[in-house]
Structure formats: C-alpha cells, structure tokens
Amino acid sequence: MAKTELHKYTVAEKLNKMDVDFIDVTVSPDEGNTGAMAAGDLLFTLTEIPNAVSVPGGTAILQSCCAIISPMVTGSFDLVVTSSSTDLTEASDGSAMEPNDAVSAGDNTLAELDGTCGFFSITNAFDAGVVAIGDKKNIGMVCKAEAGSTSLYVWGIVQNTTDYAEGSIVLRLGFVKD
C-alpha cells in the first residue's frame, strides 16, 4: 500500500515538478480489411504507449486524447487503457482476439481485464477533409504502470458499423506525469 504524504511538497513545488507530455501512438483498425464492423467489435489490438509514466511502476494522469482517423471515418469508438501487456484473448478458446471479433458476445467474452486503468469514448469525430478528427478532453484518468515498466497499453472497441478499410488512427495522448 502506498503511503500518502500530504505535506511533502508545497503546492508550488508540486506543480513545478510535474511534466506534461504528448505521446503519439498509431493503431491499425481492420488490419485484415474484413469490411464493415459491428458495434462492440474489437477496433484494434493491444498497443503499447511507451514512456507513459516517468519512472518504472510510476503513475500519470491521462488528461486528453485527440484521434486523427485516416481514411476519414466519423463513427464513435471506446478506448480502454491498461497497464497489462497481456494480449487480449477469447475466453472460449484462449486464442488472440483480432479486429472485428466481438468484445463481448457469447463465447467471445474477454478472458481477463487485469490492469485496466479505465476507458473513455471518442464520440465527436468530424470530417476534416482527408481525415476525421475527434477528441476527449478533461479525462483525468489516473494510470499506474506495471512494476518495472514505464509503458501503458490501449485497445479499442468500435461503436459504429463503419468500414475502416485498413486505415490508421493516430492517438495523440496528453499525460501529466508526476
């Protein structure tokens, strides 16, 4: 159990020692170009967010996320942030989940969600010409990396019936690091 020391630093000292960092992560929805997805399908597999925390086993606050989607797709999706580097598997047979697999439907319920920090939705994507852009501000998700690691991980759940056609999504994640 962590020991809380409320008066270790003054407010000014605490604010001055915090870092703000943007980390870009590119994910690949519909890698197999299997066509339109259904709401609740896996959008993309577990993807590393390197150096999300400052020290091994440390913490950070995920404050914002901007999603740049190419080709232009304006549907909504959910993002799950976790400290676990374990690939997502299907409970029915233990095989690795792939995009377009239903996240929770009968036998395809996820076997485990160890290390989950939280989730949020990108629901405001708009057509910006050749790409779509959506974001989520003021997330405030406290995240803790596994012991010995400075990485966090993210995976997505589609909430529309769009064909991502082997596109890409750049997630620009804004962290406050302690």
Domains of the chain: 18-177 (2.60.120)
Integer Cα distance of 77 and 148 in angstroms: 31
- Which residues, other chains included, contact 4 with Cβ-Cβ below 8 Å and sequence gap of 6+? none
Rounded to two decimals, what is the model's pTM?
A: 0.81
* Range name among 46-60, 67-81, 82-96, 153-167 with the lowest pLDDT average: 82-96
Nearest to 146 by CA among 53, 20, 61, 25: 53
- What percent of the chain lies above the pLDDT cut of 90? 37
- What percent of the chain lies above the pLDDT cut of 70? 71
Mean pLDDT of the chain: 80
Integer Cα distance of 113 and 32 in angstroms: 25
Report pLDDT for 103: 61
